[in-house]
């Protein structure tokens, strides 16, 4: 029957561990069979090895008894009191906050207990470390600390799982280690008074239990192979049912001597109770830039075992009272820009000095001195670049935006948009130039897509009267639009109608497209293309022609761009001819890159294959304007012109 109960309790406890169900908790509360508690402890509460279960730096009111401070409990005698100041051990990490320490001395006998874990530990090992500084030697062996099972409130030395006692040795003191009534083992090396020592005790479950004592191990090192004292493994002893309570004892008698206890840690692994102190590491300070009249603040972020102290310096000289993580100059002037600012942060395990930071002062806000321009994207071009210039005191920062949203990484005075797509035509781009005194915003610009005539040699022109004609791939649906004003959006131009197609049947796969128009005597412009809807990029031929004041038609250009608003743009990087008649001569002018060489070509027949003849070469001036004159044009009818970059 007991076997069945044990198995049943074990299953319930295992389920409770997985589900934490309130139903099972009630079952345990009501069904207090003699094995239920054992099953719960053994199966539901196993801690993870190597974790810190409890630590205490005794940050309690000075002078009070330890047992009156939560989570401690026990008798309120005065032999265990909170003392001011902490103990320190080289490279051992302090507890946070460090607080005070426990003074063990004369007074009324006192016991203080702590449940160092919510559930008793029943396997593996339990480690406990603390700092100890003896000022007055004991005259008799006296209990210092004990590891006890859950529910314990008093020591039963020497029958406890682990008792650590202090005793006098010639010229110093040592320890006695007890385990469940076995003969005690003692250390023989005399430890000096008024010296802080690191003490580690350990209980290991199994084989009747083992207890260990280590004195002054090196934090951060592996667990020493040889302890200062060891007890257990004897079948006369007994294994502890569990461990959950740490007890500190003070007899109050003068025979106990006087000592301080501090930096208490309890865990399931060696490293959890002997951690190395954290050295100081500093982040910052950063250079500061301000506008004249503003204050300036330098700040740092420091990590390391507390407590940390701060000292700001200017050119290596400590600044009086500058002992925080922030240093502020209320009204800095030009002389303050010649100073290097740094900080020394010190902790228990050393100090660190930051890199120096500098101060700069601006007096003039930025101005945009060269506005960006629309970026024209020609056929088969994949990138578009915007650039601008700004003036202003350093540090001068740049940030490009699209539709007023900052573009990540676009922090130079130029910005290249890669893999341009048709959707980019609906976006606007601008540049913010900033310094501590203000921000300047450029005019917004856009990506403009160029219309370009892509068919071979076929250009707008006329023959047989008032026909517009062009050559392109067969099967295109081409239309003509007209307007006397190029400043209006092209989607408001007048539709002249579709162009008629006449296949060439010459093996080229091309056709001649034409339409008859009746231009007014005033200047009229024509566009030929397949689409005038945004983004105004036509896969087919897009060309323009114009008429002169006599109604004659002339080629005006085959390369231009259209803004997102539908407005024509004459690109500065491509020649665009404007032909005018004056007397008997034809004047041809265009716009291109300053210094560019341009050919003027002529033909008398636009029927394929067109034979273009170069009749003049010229170089654009500093303003990008290129001019030609054909003086015999008025005497030879049917001459057509174009401007070509070599």
Contact 210, 232 (CB under 8 A): yes
pLDDT, tens digit, 9 for 90 and up, residues 505-518: 888 888 888 887 76
What is the spatial distance between Cα 109 and Cα 373, in angstroms, rounded to a whole number? 89
171 with 101, same domain: the answer is yes
Element (H, E) at 302: strand 301-303
179 with 61, same domain: the answer is yes
- Give backbone dihedrals phi and psi of 228, rounded to 5 degrees, phi first: -70, -30
What is the spatial distance between Cα 554 and Cα 461, in angstroms, rounded to a whole number? 6
Q: What is the CATH number of the domain that holds 330?
A: 2.60.40.10
What is the spatial distance between Cα 425 and Cα 423, in angstroms, rounded to a whole number? 5
153 with 290, same domain: the answer is no
Q: What is the CATH number of the domain that holds 138?
A: 2.60.120.200
Query: Token digits for 188?
Result: 């023989």
Given the structure tokens 């761009």, which residue do they identify? Answer: 561
582 with 638, same domain: the answer is yes
Mean pLDDT by 10 residues, the chain (646 residues): 27 28 28 28 40 95 94 90 93 88 92 95 97 96 96 90 95 94 92 97 95 96 95 85 96 92 96 92 95 96 91 97 96 95 93 96 94 79 91 94 96 94 85 96 86 38 51 80 75 85 85 74 66 51 48 50 63 42 59 69 70 84 72 64 69
Q: Residue 563's pLDDT is what?
A: 66
Residue 528 lies inside a defined structural domain of this protein: no
310 with 340, same domain: the answer is yes
3 state DSSP class of 6: helix
pLDDT, tens digit, 9 for 90 and up, residues 200-228: 999 999 999 999 999 999 999 999 999 99
Residue 86 lies inside a defined structural domain of this protein: yes
Q: Residue 387's pLDDT is what?
A: 94
Residue 79 gets which letter from DSSP?
Answer: T
What is the spatial distance between Cα 103 and Cα 81, in angstroms, rounded to a whole number? 5
Please tell me the total count of domains within the chain. Answer: 5
25 with 61, same domain: the answer is no
- Give the domain-ending residue among 246, 273, 300: 273
63 with 30, same domain: the answer is no
Residue 397 lies inside a defined structural domain of this protein: yes
114 with 204, same domain: the answer is yes
Neighbours of 140 (CB within 10 A): 14
What is the spatial distance between Cα 260 and Cα 130, in angstroms, rounded to a whole number? 10
Residue 491 lies inside a defined structural domain of this protein: no
115 with 261, same domain: the answer is yes
What is the spatial distance between Cα 280 and Cα 84, in angstroms, rounded to a whole number? 25
DSSP per-residue codes, 372-402: --PEEE-TT---EEEE-EEE-SSS-EEEEEE
Residue 186 lies inside a defined structural domain of this protein: yes
Element (H, E) at 584: none
- Give the domain-ending residue among 239, 254, 273: 273
Query: Token digits for 55?
Result: 């630590």
95 with 222, same domain: the answer is yes
Residue 469 lies inside a defined structural domain of this protein: no
Residue whose C-alpha is closest to residue 310's, from 257, 354, 259: 354
- Give the domain-ending residue among 420, 445, 470: 445
Question: What is the overall mean pLDDT for the chain?
Answer: 80
Residue 219 lies inside a defined structural domain of this protein: yes
Q: What is the CATH number of the domain that holds 641?
A: 2.60.40
177 with 244, same domain: the answer is yes
36 with 60, same domain: the answer is no
Q: Give 308-347 as a 3 state SS string.
A: CEEEEEECCEECCCCCCCEEEECCCCHHHHHCCEEEEEEE
Owning domain of residue 383: 367-445
Residue whose C-alpha is closest to residue 42's, from 98, 104, 156, 124: 124
Q: Residue 592's pLDDT is what?
A: 59
Residue 12 lies inside a defined structural domain of this protein: yes
């Amino acid at each position: 029957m007991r076997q069945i109960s044990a198995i049943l309790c074990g299953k319930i406890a295992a389920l409770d561990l997985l589900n934490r169900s309130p139903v099972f908790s009630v079952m345990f509360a009501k069904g207090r069979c003699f094995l239920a508690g054992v099953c719960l402890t053994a199966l539901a509460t196993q801690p993870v090895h190597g974790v810190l279960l409890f630590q205490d730096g005794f940050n309690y009111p000075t002078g009070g008894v330890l047992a009156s401070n939560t989570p401690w409990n026990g008798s309120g005698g005065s032999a265990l009191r909170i003392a001011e100041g902490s103990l320190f051990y080289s490279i051992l990490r302090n507890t946070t906050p460090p607080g005070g320490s426990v003074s063990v001395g004369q007074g009324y006998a006192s016991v203080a207990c702590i449940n160092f874990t919510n559930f008793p530990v029943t396997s593996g090992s339990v480690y406990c470390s603390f700092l100890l500084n003896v000022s007055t030697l004991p005259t008799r062996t006296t209990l210092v600390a004990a590891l006890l099972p859950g529910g314990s409130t008093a020591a039963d030395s020497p029958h406890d799982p682990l008792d650590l006692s202090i005793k006098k040795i010639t010229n110093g003191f040592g320890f006695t280690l007890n385990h469940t009534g076995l003969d005690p083992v003692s250390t023989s090396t005399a430890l000096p008074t008024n010296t802080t020592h690191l003490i580690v005790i350990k209980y290991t479950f199994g084989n009747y239990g083992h207890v260990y004592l280590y004195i002054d191990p090196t934090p951060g090192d592996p667990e020493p192979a040889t302890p200062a004292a060891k007890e257990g493994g004897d079948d006369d002893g007994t294994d502890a049912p569990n461990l959950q309570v740490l007890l500190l004892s003070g007899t109050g008698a003068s025979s106990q001597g006087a000592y301080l206890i501090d930096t208490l840690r309890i865990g399931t692994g060696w490293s959890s109770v002997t951690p190395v102190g954290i050295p100081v590491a500093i982040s910052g300070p950063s250079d500061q830039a301000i506008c004249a009249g503003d204050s300036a603040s330098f700040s740092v972020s420091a990590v390391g075992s507390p407590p940390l102290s701060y000292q700001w310096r200017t050119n290596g000289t400590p600044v009086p009272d500058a002992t925080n993580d922030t240093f502020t100059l209320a009204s800095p002037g030009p002389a303050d820009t010649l100073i290097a600012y740094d900080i020394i942060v010190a902790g228990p395990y050393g100090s660190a000095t930051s890199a120096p930071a500098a101060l700069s002062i601006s007096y003039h806000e930025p101005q945009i001195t060269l506005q960006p321009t629309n970026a024209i994207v020609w056929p088969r071009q994949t990138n578009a670049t915007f650039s601008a210039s700004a003036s202003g005191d350093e540090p001068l920062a740049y940030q490009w935006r699209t539709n007023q949203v900052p573009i990540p990484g676009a922090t130079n005075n130029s910005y290249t948009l890669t893999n341009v797509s048709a959707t980019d035509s609906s976006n606007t781009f601008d540049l913010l130039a900033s310094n501590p005194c203000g921000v300047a915003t450029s005019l917004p610009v856009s990506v403009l897509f160029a219309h370009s005539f892509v068919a071979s040699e076929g250009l707008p022109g006329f023959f047989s009267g008032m026909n517009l004609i062009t050559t392109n791939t067969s099967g295109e649906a081409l239309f003509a639009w007209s307007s006397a004003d190029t400043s209006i959006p092209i989607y408001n131009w007048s539709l002249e109608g579709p162009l008629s197609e006449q296949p060439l049947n010459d093996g080229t796969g091309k056709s001649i497209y034409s339409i008859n128009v009746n231009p007014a005597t005033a200047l009229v412009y024509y566009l030929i293309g397949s689409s005038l809807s945004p983004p105004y990029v036509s896969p087919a031929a897009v060309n323009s022609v114009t008429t002169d004041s006599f109604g004659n038609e002339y080629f005006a250009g085959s390369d231009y761009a259209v803004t997102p608003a539908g407005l024509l743009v004459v690109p500065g990087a491509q020649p665009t001819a404007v032909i005018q008649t004056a007397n008997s001569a034809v004047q041809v002018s265009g716009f291109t890159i300053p210094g560019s060489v341009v050919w003027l070509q002529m033909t008398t027949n636009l029927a394929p294959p067109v034979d273009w003849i170069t009749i003049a070469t010229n170089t654009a001036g500093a303003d990008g304007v290129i001019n030609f004159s054909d003086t015999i044009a008025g005497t030879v009818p049917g001459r057509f012109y174009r401007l070509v970059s070599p």
